[in-house]
Amino acid sequence: MHAKIIRQLAGGGAVAEMLKTADSRQVAADIGLSSQAKAGPCYSAHAGMGTESLHVFPGKGGAATSYRLSAEHHDEIMECEIASLPEPILIHTGHYIPNRMHPTHVPQNAIRSFEIAIEMAAKLYRLGKSFAFLVVINDITLSSEERSEIYGDFSLPKAYAEQLCAFEAERETSTMVILIGETKLAEKLNREKHRLVAAGKLVATGDGSYFVNGDASKTALFASAGSMAPRCIRAFARLAALPRELGFSSFFQVLPKCGSVNAHLGYDLGRRLFADVPDVPALLLYRTHMCW
């Protein structure tokens, strides 16, 4: 199973679910945070650090253009770049860590990321462009039993559902929401490891590590326990191929600045790793004071 797709009905609380299988045959310095600057599993100590940034990938392997967004030029740049995205557009937002006791609860800053995506969706709607939402859940700290329980009877967090229903009711439209966990993405990359090695996309080192061919940093996507890159990097590497696989023509991502180092590195490595699946134009927005 690759992703769960939730159809949110306009103006109503009902959610109909269906499952869909969609199998498919260095940049950290630009972020403005040190990869060593971490404190705690959610990097909350750095929620307000760095400058809000936007990274524009033109697609087809092109180099990214990066903006450090100031209040003065934020709206102008965002309006221009959003308008340039070809449709349909996949909007990744609302990334959060589930609360074991209250799985549908999300923290305020994660809610804010969803609000920003709704604001961007409103701009796209006015431009007449089609889009869907992607929510990637940071489920890496959960046990397999906890993940099965959450996904077995999943409903969109109330705070997200309320925003989405209001958006749909006002415009008399309906929107697709795609859900997937980081663990599922990382596991999918694990299953593709041997194919990627055979294709020369992953290169082995003498100590049994594997890195993306052409990656000067030699980030070990696979290695012995303790020396392998964090699972979230593998998850975001696999995420890079997801928009095209699911039939989208561009990608827009909203994440907190404090979690951007691993997410951005993973996405950049994934663009190289899955170069045979042409990457789509992408806007990666990293906001401050938005820690999940």
CATH code for the domain in which residue 232 is found: 3.40.50
Structure-token match 């907190």, residue found: 256
At residue 227 the predicted structure's pLDDT band, cuts being 50, 70 and 90, is low
Residue 28 lies in a domain: no
The string of pLDDT tens digits covering residues 143-162 is 888 888 777 777 788 888 89
The model carries a pTM of: 0.79
With bands split at pLDDT 50, 70 and 90, how would you rate the model's confidence at 26?
very low
The whole-number pLDDT of residue 20 equals 27
Question: What average pLDDT does range 72-83 have in this prediction?
Answer: 74
Please state, in angstroms and as integers, the Cα–Cα distance from residue 69 to each residue in 22, 80, 189, 267, 288, following that order. Answer: 35, 13, 33, 20, 11
Q: Which of these, 243, 254, 215, 231, lies nearest to 115 by C-alpha position?
A: 254
pLDDT above 50: residue 21 = no
Give pLDDT, residue 144. Answer: 84
pLDDT of residue 134: 93
DSSP string, 254-274: EEEGGGHHHHHHHHHHHHHHT
Instruction: Count how many domains the chain has.
Output: 1
pLDDT bucket at 70, cuts 50 / 70 / 90: low
For residue 60, the model assigns a pLDDT of 64
Could you list the residue range(s) of the whole structural domain that residue 241 is in?
3-20+33-287
Domain-located, residue 90: yes
Calculate what percentage of the chain has a pLDDT beyond 70.
Answer: 74
pLDDT at 222 > cutoff 90: no
Average pLDDT score over the chain = 75
| Within a domain: 292 | no
Does residue 159 lie in a domain region?
yes
Do the domain assignments include residue 168? yes
Question: What pLDDT, in 10s, does the model give residues 229-263?
Answer: 678 889 999 999 999 999 999 999 988 776 677 88
- Mean pLDDT, rounded, for 44-71: 66
d(CA 69, CA 241): 27
- Per-residue pLDDT, averaged over 129-136, amounts to 92
pLDDT tens-digit readout, 167-211: 999 988 888 888 888 888 999 999 999 999 999 999 988 777 888
Identify whether 27 is part of a domain. Answer: no
- Tell me, yes or no, whether 26 lies in a domain: no
The pLDDT value given to residue 62: 67
- The CA distance from 64 to 58, in Å, is 7
- Where is mean pLDDT largest: 37-41, 55-59, 60-64? 55-59
Of 107 and 13, more confident? 107
> Considering the domain boundaries, does residue 280 fall inside one?
yes
